[in-house]
Amino acid sequence: MKIGILTSGGDCPGLNAVIRGSVLKGVISYDTEFVGFRNGWRGVVEEDIVPIVRHDVRGLAKQGGTILGSSRTNPFEGEGGGPENIQRMLDRNGIDAIVAIGGEGTLTAARRLYDEGGIKVIGVPKTIDNDLAATDYSFGFDTAVQIATEAIDRLRTTADSHGRCMVLEVMGRHVGWIALHSGMAGGAHAILIPEQPQSIEQITEWVESVRDRGRAPLVVVAEGFKFDDMAEAHSHKGLDAFNRPRLGGIAELIAPMIEERTGIESRATVLGHIQRGGEPTAFDRVLATRLGMAVVDAVYDGAWGSMVTLRGTDIQTVSIADAVGTLNQVPQSRYDEAKILFG
Ligand code: F6P
């Protein structure tokens, strides 16, 4: 059996650990041969294929990024796109199955290739946002939370020195998991997430109560946060390759509003792609390795059109059709729990 692996969409710490887990499991348990498609689906439609042998994955669990490269290419577009062209390409190269590691867009495309052309593909979910409902946690999330928490710790010392209010913006697109977890870990005085719009009056009330206790306020805001009178999240950077608004910059709106209303000198920090770079945490390495190993079993089980997920502490296989399309949002109970500590 020859398996082709690809990593697609925004990168995320742990992608290399999945590749390593799959290759080791396949080589040891099934004598599988592996190739990689370079730059996500682009490598599939452009037939850009590299061999992966056991030696290539040595020491890879801790390496950030992806050795295969990534892109946001749509596999239904371009000369080599669509299920018929892709099947011909697979036959030409003797590839029996595709393992597609990606987020919602990648997984949806994988399922469509299976539904419309019988392409033998199985998915591995990845996203730092933790926004996929089918998996309790996605690898990359824990690393992003760790990086954001370190940023909060650092901002607190400089905030204390100057008696300033710091507003830290973290990623997460339409969900507030990174903000909620890093904010709680770092002891933020307010956590603003997309699922819970707030007024500027409420935010300044929290900030002033912190100042009145003699502390320097620290606010964590998710990039997708909306004030209660905003219909859409703040976006001023145009659209991404999937025509979705590129988010980022809400902290730079909030900090001056706080300063104007409270008189507390305020600064904004947008953490950005630092959250996606560098070494994965041990948790993410373990999760990614287990998913990488499990997807090879799923290939040998012929579970086409499905993906591997984490449920509790178990790795399971679920249909992609049932798994995508629902956002894993922060539930009200988790926000209420955190909110007790605001202000
Ligand atoms: O989905 C992961 C993510 O990092 C989001 O949190 C963020 O909004 C987006 O990707 C940024 O995308 P890009 O890398 O294309 O700027």
Strand partners, 268: 167
The neighbour count for residue 243, using CB atoms within 10 Å, is 7
Strand partners, 325: none
- The reported pLDDT for the residue numbered 275 is 97
CATH architecture of the domain with range 142-276 = 3-Layer(aba) Sandwich (3.40)
| Residue 127 beta carbon below 6 angstroms from any ligand 1 atom | yes
298 is written with which tokens? Answer: 């799923």
- The reported pLDDT for the residue numbered 167 is 98
Q: Which of 276, 327, 328 for a ligand 1 pocket mutation test, highest count of atoms within 8 Å of Cβ?
A: 276
Longest dimension (CA), the chain: 70
Q: Which atom of ligand 1 is nearest to the CA of 240?
A: 15
Report the distance separating Cα 322 and Cα 270, nearest Å. Answer: 35
- The reported pLDDT for the residue numbered 178 is 98
In order, the DSSP letters of 151-209 are HHHHHHHHHHHHT-EEEEEE--TT--HHHHHHHHHHT-SEEE-TTS-B-HHHHHHHHHH
Q: Kindly give the distance from the C-alpha atom of residue 222 to the centroid of ligand 1, in angstroms, as a whole number.
A: 12
Q: Is 129 one of the catalytic residues?
A: yes
Q: For the chain, give percent helix, strand, coil, nearest 5.
A: 45, 20, 40
Nearest to 304 by CA among 146, 7, 98, 163: 98
Report the distance separating Cα 86 and Cα 77, nearest Å. Answer: 11
| Residue 244 beta carbon below 6 angstroms from any ligand 1 atom | no
- The reported pLDDT for the residue numbered 240 is 82
| pLDDT tens string 215-254 | 999 999 999 999 999 999 999 999 887 788 999 999 999 9
Q: Which of 240, 324, 327 for a ligand 1 pocket mutation test, highest count of atoms within 8 Å of Cβ?
A: 240
Rounded to 10 deg, the angle between the 282-300 and 15-25 helix axes is: 40
Q: Which atom of ligand 1 is nearest to the CA of 223?
A: 8
**In this structure, which CATH number among 2.60.40.3950, 3.20.19.10, 3.40.50.450, 3.40.50.300 belongs to the domain 2-139+280-324?**
3.40.50.450
- The reported pLDDT for the residue numbered 134 is 87
| Residue 172 beta carbon below 6 angstroms from any ligand 1 atom | yes
| pLDDT tens string 273-283 | 999 999 999 99
The residue whose CA has the least distance to atom 8 of ligand 1 is: 173
Q: Kindly give the distance from the C-alpha atom of residue 71 to the centroid of ligand 1, in angstroms, as a whole number.
A: 12
Rg, C-alpha atoms of the chain: 22
| Cβ atoms 179, 221 nearer than 8 A | yes
Q: Kindly give the distance from the C-alpha atom of residue 254 to the centroid of ligand 1, in angstroms, as a whole number.
A: 21
Rounded to 10 deg, the angle between the 177-186 and 141-162 helix axes is: 50
The residue whose CA has the least distance to atom 10 of ligand 1 is: 10
Q: In what order do the strands lie in the sheet with 306-311?
A: 49-52, 33-37, 2-7, 97-102, 121-125, 306-311, 314-319
- The reported pLDDT for the residue numbered 12 is 94
Which listed residue (31, 48, 96, 129) is catalytic? 129
Same fold, 2-139+280-324 and 142-276: yes
157 is written with which tokens? Answer: 């010392």
CA dihedral 316, 320, 321, 325 (to 10 degrees): 100
H or E stretch covering 218: strand 218-222
Which regions in the chain score pLDDT beneath 70? Answer: none
The residue whose CA has the least distance to atom 14 of ligand 1 is: 10
Q: What is the pTM of this model?
A: 0.96
What are the residue ranges spanned by the domains of the chain?
2-139+280-324, 142-276
